[in-house]
Amino acid sequence: MVAINLIKKLDTADGSIEAHFELELQEGEFITLFGASGAGKTTLLRMIAGLEKPQSGKIEVNGEVWFDSQKKIDIAPQKRKVGFVFQDYALFPTMSVKENLLFAAEDDEQRKNVASLIEMVELTSLENRLPHSLSGGQKQRVALARALVRQPKIILLDEPLSALDPTMRQKLQNELAFIHKKFGVTTLLVSHDVAETVKLSDRLAHVEAGKIVKICPPMEFFSHHTLSGKLQLIGEVLKIEEDFPITVVTLLVGSSVVKTIVTCKEAQEFQIGSQAIISSKAFNPILMPVR
Ligand code: ATP
């Protein structure tokens, strides 16, 4: 189990606030930090990795204390068993794919495992290439594989897929889910993407102004408790067409385009490009395979 209780002063655009993060992750759990820009999500990840020092508090990972302000314990970042993946990949530009992974390895056993990690992310044929000659998706796969080299106790993912196009993003979400299932490493992801959060996480932690104000299954969070829909799909708003007194909202759900009707007043809550849940209540959907 990972137990976090940290206090940190944040200098935000609205002045100084005292952030207080309290969070427990069960072993193997996948939690997504979701919240507005500037709420403190990245700072929390950086404090867990030891890249940022909290004012006070404690971090305990599987019984090991990484930080304890009272006992003056502050384990160095390189000694914390953390895999960190950033949005901008942070690969070493002069090292090949393989060298990037080998550089992270601490002993022979980890070095031996590098080839199978590269194979797992399907980059064996590109293992001698330099990062600049790889696509964004390939670079992020290298970063993911590199994060696993040291057999981390926790993986920290800071919006790792947000620079990718939607198709590559979906593909890597599936790979992330696969990797999480295969290795079962406790994972903390920062994401602003509703579908990604629902797809990957066991629980969502809603971060607001330096505090985790709610933790629950992601679907419960996004459906605002008010919907008891039997069918719920998440989509991106493509078009909003007013035809008084109704408005037709067109959504992209996966690769399908779905139209639905809301009142003109309800339509004010939606913007093009934002995400929305389409839900049906008294409805018995029939599921059929696509042939
Ligand atoms: P985003 O979703 O945009 O990445 P975030 O939730 O990850 O945002 P942070 O990057 O953690 O937010 O920043 C939270 C706030 O804390 C910001 O206002 C930032 O300026 C401030 N901040 C970041 N690092 C420090 C620091 N070391 N000391 C004090 N304040 C900081």
How do residues 154-200 score in pLDDT, each as one tens digit? 999 999 998 888 888 888 898 899 899 988 999 999 998 888 888 89
Distances (CA, A) of 168 to 164, 174, 218: 6, 10, 22
Burial (CB < 10 A; 0-12, 13-18, 19+), residue 65, is: middle
* pLDDT greater than 60 at residue 228: no
> What's the CATH number where 19 sits?
3.40.50.300
How do residues 95-115 score in pLDDT, each as one tens digit? 999 999 999 999 999 999 999
Domain end, chosen from 173, 195, 222, is at 222
Residue nearest atom 9 of ligand 1, based on CA coordinates: 40
Domain end, chosen from 207, 222, 237, is at 222
* Residue 13 CA to ligand 1 centre (angstroms): 9
Q: What is the pTM of this model?
A: 0.81
Domain end, chosen from 222, 238, 256, is at 222
CA 39 to ligand 1: nearest atom: 6
Of all residues in the chain, the percent with pLDDT exceeding 70 is: 93
90 touches 140 (CB < 8 A):
no
* Residue 15 CA to ligand 1 centre (angstroms): 12
How do residues 195-224 score in pLDDT, each as one tens digit? 888 889 999 999 999 999 999 998 888 776
CA angle, corner 172, sides to 80 and 94, nearest 5?
A: 60
Mutate to test the pocket of ligand 1, among 43, 191, 211 (most ligand atoms within 8 A of CB): 43
**Pairing label, strands 186-190, 30-34:** parallel
* 116 and 65 both lie in a single domain: yes
Beta bridge partners, 64, equal 61
* Residue 154 CA to ligand 1 centre (angstroms): 21
Q: What domain range is 187 assigned to?
A: 2-222
Residues framing ligand 1 (Cβ under 6 A):
10-13, 37-43, 52
Lowest mean per-residue pLDDT among 59-73, 139-153, 154-168: 154-168
Residue found under tokens 């670079």: 139
CA 45 to ligand 1: nearest atom: 11
Average pLDDT value over all residues in the chain: 89
Mutate to test the pocket of ligand 1, among 10, 12, 37, 189 (most ligand atoms within 8 A of CB): 10
What DSSP letter does each residue of 4-53 carry, written as one string?
EEEEEEEEETTEEEEEEEEEEE-TT-EEEEE--TTSSHHHHHHHHHTSS-
Q: What is the pLDDT of residue 47?
A: 97
* 233 and 215 both lie in a single domain: no
Q: Please write down the long-range contacts of 218-221, taking CB distance under 8 Å and 24 or more positions apart.
A: 218/32, 218/34, 221/34
